[in-house]
Amino acid sequence: MIPQPSRALADLAGKLVNDIAPETSSTYAAANTGMIAMLLGALAQDAERAVASRMDDIDEMQRLFTTLGRDCDPDNAEARTRYVGRQPASLRLGDVDALHQDGMALLIAVHAWAEDHDPDLDRSIWRLLHRHTERNRLDLG
Amino acid sequence: MHPALAPLGERFVAYLSDRWQEPLTLTGIEQIPGGASRETYRVRVDGPGGSRGLILRRDPVSSLIDTERALEYRTYQAVHGTAIPVPEPLILEEDPSHLDRPFSVMREIAGCESAVAALAQPPFDGLRERIGERKWSLLGQLAAMDPGQLGVTGFMDVPDHPARRELDYWAGVIDADALHPQPVAQAAIRWLRRHLPAPSARRCLVHGDYRSGNFLFDAEGEIRGVLDWEMAHVGDPLEDLAWSLDPLWGWPERTLAGGLLPREQAIAIWQRASGIEVDREAFRWWQVFASLKGLAIWISSTEDFVNGQSKEPILAVAGWVMTDRQNRILLDRLDPASTHDYAEPLL
């Protein structure tokens, strides 16, 4: 069998909601069962896409940083140049997350700079954040 | 009564019998879900005076909101007996030896509902507008009360600049608790610092978490108890109004604040009850702040769930699901090209 974590987690969430929660004997247990089912549903969505969505973010940040001159947020210009050339140590989520977080820290700094100096760049970063947020959106019904 | 809760119930009743000097027996105990900042139990005891319903709120191992139990309890004492209905506070016990952790006791307000979802079914259907009217009337009445006359200034600071104080506090929570960079939260903090309003002339007791789910209503459409005062403080009256209107409380419904009324209708009710006309420019700031404060709480609960002792599911739901929703709301509010998919434009 090829494991399909997303499907398994979604099925377990359904089992909790439909079969187990109605059998619980207290409102406290039923409420917690519902919340755990919701979390399983979120895990089901993210298990499938987590690496891909972070890699898409990394790719977008690297492309954006490539377009920026050294006079843009000059304190971080060298760090941005180094970031553009980096790849995650592996495709394990922890390694991808580490590179993603480094990029987000640089993005926050350049966004703060853009608010004061470059309205077009400010708008571009808001659009990037919009796409980032949509990639990670949880649809839980 | 769940057998696992009986030992706690028996210890509690032994404590009460000693404290009240009357023989009491435990007839029921159940844990109430959703007590993110305190473990909350509904307890029923019998004694010479008859049967009594009590609410026991015990400090948790780990909390969604870091709060001071004494401040919350004293706030209940200050508000009880005013036009704002709250459960009667009975005991504050700070000695952890009795039930392992400090706790407080309130008189139960029975026969009520707190979930707005209940308004879709009998006997609460048809009450949505009535409860919305009561909700924002009470909040307006709270805003109109003098915090000095209420007595809360004896144990709460009166800030010179409420907006700055609240922003500094919640931005600090994000800086301290965020487990990874938060680009939307940081953009919101910068926006709020750039647009800080002048301090308003009015100060009031701010509930701090006045939203759907934190009040009890009955089948006649009356609000019988406003709950969860753990984030109460003296501040700007617009803070509670903006918090009560945050899109998160009606999610995914965007047009009814808290799932009850259109936002402008809620504001009109609040203005009539408070006698305060909303300063729209300042209110824009408080609306963005409300979404940032929510995000700070969710970020903090993530940290609690990951690093703390408690593994309560509500901490993880807040830390993940609520963070996702609140990020989308904040982004909708601040992105110059927003299409307002998750939040109506700022009022």
Report, as an integer, the average pLDDT of B315-341.
Answer: 92
Q: A123 vs B336: CB contact, 8 Å cut-off?
A: yes
Rounded alpha-carbon distances, angstroms, from residue B341 to B292, B336, B337: 18, 13, 11
From B6-15, B83-92, B306-315, the region with the lowest mean pLDDT: B306-315
Report, as an integer, the average pLDDT of B50-58.
Answer: 95
pLDDT of residue A69: 94
pLDDT band at B65 (very low <50, low <70, confident <90, very high): low
For B317, the closest of A25, A39, A104 (CB atoms) is: A39
Closest chain A residue to B41, measured at CA: A28
Tell whether B169 and B56 lie within a shared domain: no
Give Cβ neighbours of residue B224 (< 8 Å, ≥ 6 apart).
B85, B109, B112, B216, B217, B218
Tell whether B101 and B125 lie within a shared domain: no
Rounded alpha-carbon distances, angstroms, from residue B277 to A59, B234, B269: 49, 19, 11
Is the confidence at residue B36, as pLDDT, over 70? no
pLDDT band at B35 (very low <50, low <70, confident <90, very high): low
pLDDT of residue B309: 74
The verdict on residue B315 lying in a domain is yes
For B313, the closest of A35, A112, A130 (CB atoms) is: A35
**In the structure encoding, which two tokens stand for residue A72, read together?**
């843009």
Is the confidence at residue B185, as pLDDT, over 90? yes
Q: B190 vs A101: CB contact, 8 Å cut-off?
A: no
Length of chain B: 347
Report, as an integer, the average pLDDT of B235-245.
Answer: 98
Does any CB of chain B come closer than 8 Å to the CB of residue A90?
Answer: no
Which one of B56, B90, B107 terminates a domain? B107
Is the confidence at residue B52, as pLDDT, over 90? yes
What are φ and ψ of residue B216, in 5° steps?
A: -105, 130
Q: Mind telling me how many Å the CA of A1 is from chain B's nearest CA? A: 31
Report, as an integer, the average pLDDT of B10-38.
Answer: 90
Q: Which long-range contacts (CB under 8 A, 24 or more apart) does B35-41 make?
A: B35/B60, B36/B63, B36/B64, B36/B65, B36/B301, B36/B312, B36/B314, B36/B315, B36/B318, B37/B63, B37/B64, B37/B65, B37/B67, B37/B228, B37/B230, B38/B63, B38/B69, B38/B104, B38/B230, B41/B5, B41/B8, B41/B9
Q: Mind telling me how many Å the CA of A52 is from chain B's nearest CA? A: 18
- Across the 141 residues of chain A, what is the mean pLDDT of every consecutive 10-residue run? 81 88 85 91 92 97 97 96 97 96 98 97 97 93 67
Which one of B107, B133, B159 terminates a domain? B107
Report, as an integer, the average pLDDT of B206-234.
Answer: 96
Structural domain boundaries, residue B35: 3-107
**In the structure encoding, which two tokens stand for residue A67, read together?**
């377009």
Tell whether B89 and B182 lie within a shared domain: no
A-chain residues near B6 (CB < 8 A): none
pLDDT of residue A68: 97
Which one of B56, B84, B107 terminates a domain? B107
Is the confidence at residue B203, as pLDDT, over 70? yes
Does any CB of chain B come closer than 8 Å to the CB of residue A59?
Answer: no
For B328, the closest of A27, A126, A137 (CB atoms) is: A137
DSSP secondary structure, B88-152, as one string: PEEEEE--TTTTSS-EEEEE---S-B--GGGGGSTTTTT-HHHHHHHHHHHHHHHHHS-HHHHTG
B-chain residues near A140 (CB < 8 A): 321
Matching residue, tokens 């408690």: B310
pLDDT of residue B99: 95
Domain containing B281 — which CATH number? 3.90.1200.10
Yes or no: say if B6 and A26 are a contact pair by the CB < 8 Å rule: no
A-chain residues near B183 (CB < 8 A): 104, 107-108, 111, 129, 132
For A130, the closest of B314, B317, B335 (CB atoms) is: B335
Domain containing B42 — which CATH number? 3.30.200.20
Widest distance between CA atoms in chain B: 67
For residue A16, what is the DSSP state? I
* ipTM of predicted assembly, 2 dp: 0.93
SS percent in chain B: helix, strand, coil, step 5: 45, 15, 40
The pLDDT mean for chain B works out to: 93
Tell whether B189 and B246 lie within a shared domain: yes
Yes or no: say if B304 and B310 are a contact pair by the CB < 8 Å rule: yes
In whole angstroms, what is the distance from residue A17 CA to residue A20 CA? 6
Q: B316 vs A39: CB contact, 8 Å cut-off?
A: yes
pLDDT of residue B255: 87
For residue B318, what is the DSSP state? I
Is the confidence at residue B196, as pLDDT, over 50? yes
- Cis (ω within 30 of 0) for the bond into B252? yes
What percent of chain B is modeled with pLDDT above 90? 80
Q: B275, exposed or middle or buried, with CB in 10 Å at 0-12, 13-18, 19+?
A: exposed
The verdict on residue B164 lying in a domain is yes
A-chain residues near B31 (CB < 8 A): 26, 28
Q: B187 vs A111: CB contact, 8 Å cut-off?
A: yes
Task: Count residue pairs from A and B with Cβ separation < 8 A.
Answer: 85
Report the number of distinct structural domains present in chain B.
2
Higher pLDDT pick, B316 / B161: B161
Does any CB of chain B come closer than 8 Å to the CB of residue A101?
Answer: yes
Give the tens place of pLDDT for each residue, A6-43.
888 888 888 898 888 888 888 888 889 999 999 999 99
In whole angstroms, what is the distance from residue A107 CA to residue A99 CA? 12
The verdict on residue B326 lying in a domain is yes
pLDDT of residue B237: 97
Give Cβ neighbours of residue B48 (< 8 Å, ≥ 6 apart).
B22, B23
Yes or no: say if B114 and B55 are a contact pair by the CB < 8 Å rule: no
Tell whether B159 and B226 lie within a shared domain: yes
